Chains A and B, each alone.
Chain A
Amino acid sequence: MRVFKSIDVAASSLTAHRLWMDTISQNLANVNSSRTPEGGPYVRRVPVFQQILDEIGEDGKVKGGVKVVEIAKDTTTAPRLVYQPDHPDADQEGYVAMPNVSVVREMADMMVASRAYEANLAVTTSAKSMWSGALDILKG
């Protein structure tokens, strides 16, 4: 029943890439949030993808595909400093620390995520039609 399992594999990737898409929209929504409950500007989030090995799970099914192990904060890039002395969050020199979200980068990531999502949808569609082909064998 490997055709069935490939639907599970594709589904795991659909979930992972939709989560990435959610993360991107979270980043874009907060592109100008200079204040967060933890203090400081919003920090860009990135999902960390990890392969699921072909192993037998607790339910006895063979697992495979991909999963998001964590949504990490991107601390490698510094916050954007914008000169805006009248802003309540401005420092003594008049600079406001803005989130390290780059709109261009998020847009590019969005394309990658949506293309991967489409590819996995195509896998699901093919698997479905292969499965119905196998079921039609006995119709003769």
Chain B
Amino acid sequence: MFDLTWKVMEKDLQGLAHRFRSVGQNLANTNTPGYARREVSFEDQLDDIINGPKRLPMATTDPKHMSTHARSVEEVTPREDRIPDQLYRLDRNNVDPEIEMAKMAETKMGYDAMTQLVSKKVSGYKTAMGG
């Protein structure tokens, strides 16, 4: 009953909520001098697990070695990076409100789609149980 889809949905919602917060953080700091914008990535990790890794994982010869790849959906953790890319403002702040607003809309739509999908799955179970 609790298959891979559930886990992927959960991780996706978690990652999108994290990205939404980072976008909010970027927009909150549009006028803070020296602020470098944040970016959240997690889709590549999920993709590696569902479709197999694109790059070969590094070999681990000791159980204490940390893996460079998430081995299961549970291990996927959204990664937040500080991006000190091309600067276009004199106060060394690189937040572009247009990009952040677009990313916010995209994240929100993804999140809404995912909650609807989870909702549909729940209603499927309800039907199956005859409720």
Contact = CB atoms under 8 A, between A and B. Distances in A.
A140 B111 contact: no
A17 B31 contact: yes
Nearest to B120: A140
Interface residues of A, number: 37
Chain B interface mostly: helix
Interface residues of B, number: 34
26 contacts: A3-B17, A3-B21, A3-B111, A6-B20, A9-B28, A10-B24, A10-B27, A10-B28, A13-B28, A49-B31, A49-B33, A50-B32, A51-B29, A66-B29, A119-B27, A122-B101, A123-B24, A123-B27, A123-B104, A126-B105, A127-B20, A130-B20, A130-B111, A133-B111, A133-B115, A138-B122
Interface of B: 13-14, 17-18, 20-21, 23-25, 27-33, 35, 97, 100-101, 104-105, 108, 111-112, 115-116, 118-120, 122-123, 125-126
B115 A13 contact: no
